[in-house]
Structure formats: structure tokens, C-alpha cells
Amino acid sequence: MHDYLAIHPEVAEALQARKAVVALESTIISHGMPYPRNVETARLMEKTIRDGGAVPATIAVLDGRIRIGLTDDDLEHLGNSQAQGREVMKLSRRDLPVALATRADGATTVAATMICAALAEIAVFATGGIGGVHRGAESTLDISADLDELATTNVAVVCAGAKAILDLPKTVEYLETRGVPVLGYGTDELPAFYTRSSGIRLASRCDSPAMVARILRAKWQLGLNGGAVIANPIPQSAALDQDFVDDAIARALADADAQGVKGKDVTPFLLSRLEELTGGASLEANIALVRNNAAVAASIAHAYAELSA
Ligand code: PSU
Ligand code: MN
């Protein structure tokens, strides 16, 4: 392809044979969960995708190249950086060229993972939650670059909606404005990450991988560029209590405000503060939902590969 892209042989072979491949992000490993659960979870996601008959392609920037498909050692390297006092950059669209040119280690967010997946022609990507419009965006203008990426780059993102640390109604409005389909997977409502419902009704619902695949094909064959959000609720058995989560979120947001946390540090700060405030319950819920998203993404990747065959 080109000098910046290094595709793992297993992934390259699967793509060549038009088999199902699922992209995975790495910011969730480096900035979204504590070591060593982050590395265990990254491996669990890869295994879940394999068990679903697809090939996982975790994406990061290492040694000046975009790596599509990582080794177990790479996952460890990204996951234990904080414990070792090394810096791994959090890379969104803005940061990708800087990390490549300076040969910095970097983990890709949803936005950057979509860019890299599209370069490798991977159509389906699984993660936990997308970034969105932050609460207070009226004054801070803090809107995740994930949303504009979803408007432009042709990759379907399977997630559990977005966390209520964000302004969910504004996030949905923004996605509507930018023409991004948000498909409730087995639900009529936007899931709110730790809980199955947000009270926000979605325009579209899908009940099978085949239907998602047909919608993706229709969109892209029409030349309607951009991604789609496949909003897959957390399994009922792993969902947290709504009031418990709301309370922890309110406290985490107040702490971020009091400490003057800004820019790309906001999301990682809130995630780790939530884990402390919930006594680790948010981490367990997060692991359960990413695993569920990986399984659904594998089935969608299959259905899409079959349609394109
Ligand atoms: N939301 C989560 N977990 C995460 C993230 C978001 O529940 O780990 C990460 C993803 O990598 C996402 C990024 O793309 O945070 C968004 O950061 P920002 O709001 O700075 O764009
Ligand atoms: Mn931001």
C-alpha cells in the first residue's frame, strides 16, 4: 500500500481472501482502562472476534507506521506504558501525522481508527463507546472529532452508544445533521453505555447482522460517504443501576471542572474517575459491553463479506 501502513500478514491474507475482518481501537487500551485489565480486555476482544469466525485487526501507531493487526507484545507495550512511565500519545485525526513523522508511539481513538481501517479497506470496527458532544459544549466547543469522522469515513462502528458523561441529545442531533445513520441494534433507543436506555428514541432499528449489512451496502453503493453507528446495548446482566451511574458521573464531571481538565485529557480523566467512584463496577461493565460489541461486529463483518462476495 504505502510506506506508512503495515498490515499484519494474517489480516492481509484475510482481506485478500475477502474474509470477515473487524478493526479494534487502541486508545481504549492505553487511555481507557487500567493495566493489566486493559491488556486482558484487548486480548479478550480479539479472541471473541476469532470465536465469531472473523479476524481481529487492532490498530495503533508504532515506530512511525500505522500498524493494522498487533501482536500480543504490542498490546502489552501499549497497555503497560503508564506503569512503565512511558508516553503513548492519544491520537485523533489531528495527531496522526505528527505521531508518524516523529515516530512516537500512539494509540488511535475512534476517529483515527476509522481513518486507518478505511486505508486498509476494513469496513467494520468494534469499540466501547464513541466520543460525542460534551456537556457544556455551548461554552467550551468540546465536540469529539469522532463525530466528524463518522460523517466522512466509510467504516461502521459497533458500540454501546455513548457515555452519559456526554450530552447525549446533542450528540444525536449532531450525528443527524452530519447524516450519520445511528442504528439501534435490537433496540429503539440510544443505549447509554453502562445502561441499556437513554430515553432518546432512534430513527432506525436493526434486528439482524444481515439487515445492518444491507443498509451499509446501500449507503456506500449510493456514494453516501461516511460511517454508521451500530448502537448495541450492554447485556442486561452487566448493566449498572441508573441512579448509581448518574451520581458517579455528576461527581466525576464536577471533579474535572474543579481541576480544570481540558481538551483531549477530558475523556480519559472522566473514565478513570468513574472507575474510582464506582469501586471498579464501571470497569467490569465496560469489559462486558466491549466483548458483546466484538461478537456483534464479527457477525456483521460476516454478513457484509457475504453480501460483497
Ligand atoms: N468513550 C469511552 N471509552 C473510551 C473512549 C471514549 O467510553 O476509551 C475513547 C475513544 O478512543 C474515543 C475517545 O474515540 O475516547 C474520544 O476522545 P475525545 O472525546 O477526546 O475525542
Ligand atoms: Mn474533546
> Cα separation of 253 and 294, whole Å?
29
Q: What is the largest CA-CA distance in the chain?
A: 54
Å from CA of 267 to ligand 2 middle: 7
Looking at ligand 1, which atom is closest to the CA of residue 28? Answer: 8
Would you state the pLDDT for residue 308? 86
Would you state the pLDDT for residue 309? 80
Would you state the pLDDT for residue 274? 97
How confident is the model over 279-306, as pLDDT tens digits?
A: 999 999 999 999 999 999 999 999 999 9
Ligand 1 neighbours by CB, cut-off 6 Å: 25, 27-28, 32, 92, 109-110, 128-129, 131, 144-146, 163, 193, 264, 267, 271
> Cα separation of 19 and 77, whole Å?
28
Determine the residue of 30, 58, 92, 109 to mutate for testing ligand 1's pocket, defined as the one with the most ligand atoms within 8 A of the Cβ atom.
109
> Cα separation of 219 and 84, whole Å?
45
> Cα separation of 34 and 48, whole Å?
20
Residue nearest ligand 1's atom 20 by CA: 264
ipTM above 0.90, yes or no: yes
How confident is the model over 109-125, as pLDDT tens digits?
A: 999 999 999 999 999 99
Would you state the pLDDT for residue 1? 60
pLDDT, averaged per 10 consecutive residues of the chain (309 residues), comes to 91 97 97 96 98 98 97 97 94 98 97 98 98 96 98 98 95 98 98 97 98 98 98 98 97 97 95 96 97 98 94
Would you state the pLDDT for residue 139? 95
The bridge status of strand 65-68 relative to strand 124-126 is: unpaired
> Cα separation of 33 and 38, whole Å?
5
Residue nearest ligand 1's atom 1 by CA: 129
Nearest CA to 41 out of 58, 54, 53, 55 is that of 58
In this structure, which ligand is nearest to the CA of 125?
1
